Amino acid sequence: MTNLPPNPANPGSNLAITVIGLGYVGLVTAACLAEWGHRVTGVDADDTRLTALRRGSSPFHEPGLESLVQSMIRAGRLRLASQAAEAVRDADIVFVAVGTHDGNGGWQTKTMLGCLKAVVPHLREGAVVVIRSTLPPDFVAQVGDIVAELRRGDDGQVSLLLNPEFTQEGKALDDFRSPSRVVLGVASDHDGRGQELLVAMYRAAKAPVIVMSAVEACLAKLGSNLFLATKITFANEMAALCDAFGGMIDPVVGAIGLDPRVAPSFLGAGVGFGGSCLPNQVAMISRIAESGGVATPLFAAVDEINHRQRNRFVDLIAEMLDGRLRDSRIALMGLAFKPDTDDIRDAPSIAIARSLIDAGADVAAFDPMPAARAAASQALPFLFVADSVEEALRGADAVALVTEWPELVNLDWTRVRALVRRPVVIDGRNALDQGTVLRAGYRYAAFGRGRHTPVAAFIEPSSEVVRTAITANTDVGDLETSLPGH
Ligand code: UDX
């Protein structure tokens, strides 16, 4: 590793950076900072993870990450280490990206505290500590004092900033390289050097850098996720209205999303949001707000409705099987909480599979990611996890799509008919082209799309405009539509 000092004409270049915690956020941060030309040391306490990384394999699936890590290690710009105290001694900046989940749907700050205690006393004077992990606001309000306390003595001061990530799994490298914005929250920065160094470092991102207090940065991060969760929940409520009054959700959210004040993304109705961030943060913020004496009924409702979607999906499957889940075989398509990841943390698939099994159904699940399949088997020992999509589909009484992987959405539905016992599809992501599925002879249900029985001939609309007009009207074309209770 080259050991040139930072260029005084460009203080944001060629920095010595240590990243502590090589989980999802830390590994992406370390690899991308190395790509920007910094001298990065990645630290993780898990030797197995370090060994795998040295052998060139990433601990999780993220498009492009494995090859970037390999090339940065080969170029000598990314070094791996297990001892934090040693690795931070000469660092200009130390990013801390350790886990803050308690494994039970809540937060824990023990790992963060342990890490700060292990690291802060060993920093050189003027070093900058940057917390990248998401933390609860009550902890953030104290963290500046905690670090100052750890620097008592003759060691000199260090700066402490928050730099929350807005990383979407599956798009993590792009989100780092070209973010929509960079948020910096200042907890303590006596001479302003910390802020200056980070602003200079992030010039490479060519994005607006917004500097605020640490608590504000924490709330900006949480607020972004809370807004996305609320937006999805809004779409799910609109879908329920469509089902109740006889409309299709697609043109409804299409029209709403074209208003530039709203924007089209995150208006996809379905089984709801999962993953390591959104569900956890929505649930936690309500509890933390309550302990701070604030009522947040909106977020409590988002949490409740999101869980309700999973139950609604199970009810929808039962409805499509004429109320009989017991002894029915359900092919559960997709386990990861969304495509392009192998992450099943708080994935709707797991809660749905559990409810189906509890109701006496046989569930055969499949996900294209072997790691997602292995994790699901471990999480639910009674779940049959198939090694191939054909194995999951064979003999199924209903096909339930939970994750919109392109290879599952684009199955040859006519060929699939030869595998399943009954041609019934329940689309938990509103991802399938219902015309294709109906033409292939299936009964079809989704969220806010009515319930459909197969048709002999479904005339494909010739243009997108006509198509939207037709899907807006559930009563046209050759579609035979029956709404709940009809
Ligand atoms: C999210 C935030 O997007 C990211 O900025 C933050 O840093 C971490 O949390 P991620 O958890 O990777 O990222 O997933 P995201 O793409 O936001 O999707 C979250 C969930 O919402 C998924 O389960 C997805 O299927 C669901 N979703 C998304 C919907 O149900 N409908 C939609 O329209 C969009």
For 274-328, write each residue's pLDDT tens digit: 999 999 999 999 888 888 899 999 999 999 999 999 999 999 999 999 999 999 9
For 392-429, write each residue's pLDDT tens digit: 999 999 999 999 999 999 999 999 999 999 999 999 99
Q: Which residue has a Cα nearest atom 25 of ligand 1?
A: 338
Q: What is the amino acid identity at position 348?
A: P
Nearest to 128 by CA among 17, 237, 6, 209: 17
What are the CA-CA distances from residue 181 to residues 26, 62, 169, 184, 207 (Å)?
18, 21, 17, 10, 5
Q: Please tell me the total number of residues recorded for the chain in this structure.
A: 486
* Residue-averaged pLDDT of the chain: 91
Nearest-atom number in ligand 1 for the CA of 347 is 23
Nearest to 238 by CA among 304, 309, 168: 309
For ligand 1, whether the C-beta of 239 sits within 6 Å is no
pLDDT at 463 over 50: no
Beta pairing class for 128-131 and 159-162: parallel
- Catalytic residue, from 32, 218, 242, 277: name it: 277
Q: Which residue has a Cα nearest atom 31 of ligand 1?
A: 268
The DSSP code for 121 is G
Nearest-atom number in ligand 1 for the CA of 166 is 7
Please give the structure tokens belonging to residue 202: 């992030």
**CA torsion, points 427, 433, 434, 436, in degrees to nearest 10?**
-120
Q: How far apart are the first and last CA of the chain?
A: 71
- Residue 292: CA atoms inside 13 Å, Cβ hemisphere, count? 14
For ligand 1, whether the C-beta of 228 sits within 6 Å is yes
Whole-number Å distance, alpha carbon 349 to ligand 1 midpoint, is: 15
The DSSP code for 120 is G
Q: Determine how many CB atoms are found less than 10 A away from the CB of residue 126.
A: 15
Q: Which residue has a Cα nearest atom 1 of ligand 1?
A: 168
Query: Which stretches within 348-461 are classed as H helix?
Result: 348-358, 370-379, 389-393, 406-409, 413-417, 434-439
Binning pLDDT at 50, 70 and 90, where does residue 455 land? low
Q: How far apart are CA 440 and CA 446, in angstroms?
A: 17
Angle, helices 214-245 vs 278-291, to 10°: value is: 110
Q: How far apart are CA 365 and CA 335, in angstroms?
A: 7
pLDDT at 476 over 70: no
Is 277 among the residues known to form the active site?
yes
Whole-number Å distance, alpha carbon 278 to ligand 1 midpoint, is: 7
Which among 277, 308, 341, 352 is the best mutation to test ligand 1's pocket, defined by most ligand atoms within 8 Å of the CB? Answer: 277
pLDDT at 245 over 50: yes
Nearest-atom number in ligand 1 for the CA of 267 is 33
Q: Which residue has a Cα nearest atom 19 of ligand 1?
A: 273
pLDDT at 180 over 90: yes
Please give the structure tokens belonging to residue 372: 């997602």
Whole-number Å distance, alpha carbon 335 to ligand 1 midpoint, is: 15
Q: Residue 17, SS3?
A: strand
pLDDT at 486 over 60: no
Which among 168, 284, 303 is the best mutation to test ligand 1's pocket, defined by most ligand atoms within 8 Å of the CB? Answer: 168
